[in-house]
Structure 1
């Protein structure tokens, strides 16, 4: 288990189905959107590492944010975690609210395990 919400709400942070590795949405309580994005990608990276994978294994990400315009300005932060030109398929969705009122962004990913 990666966080207490798994037991509290009843879900799995990581599910492996065949060669696909699904990471449930990851959020952060940091103060700014940029800090949240950085922490989330670090948590994603660490979770993948726990499963013998790297960021290059991500084939799809869905990003939920409460402020799409602010997030669009953080492209450089997102690009830092991926090799140039090897970005995953992405969907960006603006939502009214996430699980905690402090959360400004939540990212879920699908990775492929050879």
Structure 2
């Protein structure tokens, strides 16, 4: 069974993707930026953007019946690579004891140049 999760973004229908897809006990969350309800980037700082998007994705996990502890892989796409350690500091604060597989990727500027990081997660819910 395949469940599509939407954020309500008009980009999802235009481009043909979902914010997240749940298949069985696995959730795949699309790369997501730190935007607020108004669609604007929440901060000009890499650390703050990373913390915000990780909190947002934690909410998506919770709503779908997963937890942050279920994350098995995370990917950070960082355009401000000069300050990459700010993104990894935020990541470490969230995932320090969980320690999922990890990728840090230097990205070209995103569509919106104010976006400094996007985060993508995969989580597997443990079967009882």
Task: Establish whether TM, by shorter chain, passes 0.5.
Answer: yes
The number of residues matched between the two structures is: 113
- The structure 2 residue matched to 1:63, chosen from 76, 81, 94, is 76
Higher relative contact order (CA 8 A, sep 6+): 1
Q: 1:90-109 alignment to 2 at 5 Å?
A: 90-109=102-121
> Equivalent residues in 2 for 1:1-114 (5 A)?
1-4=6-9, 5-28=11-34, 29=41, 30-82=43-95, 84-114=96-126
The alignment's C-alpha RMSD in Å is: 1.5
Q: Distance in 2 between matches of 1:93 and 1:75?
A: 11
* Structure 2 residue runs without a partner (length 5+): 1-5, 35-40
Q: Which runs of 4+ in 1 moved over 4 A?
A: none
Q: Residues of 2 paired with 1:93 and 1:57: CA distance?
A: 22
**Cα distance in structure 2, aligned partners of 1:75 and 1:92:** 8
TM-score (norm 2): 0.79
Deviation at 1:69, TM superposition (A): 3.5
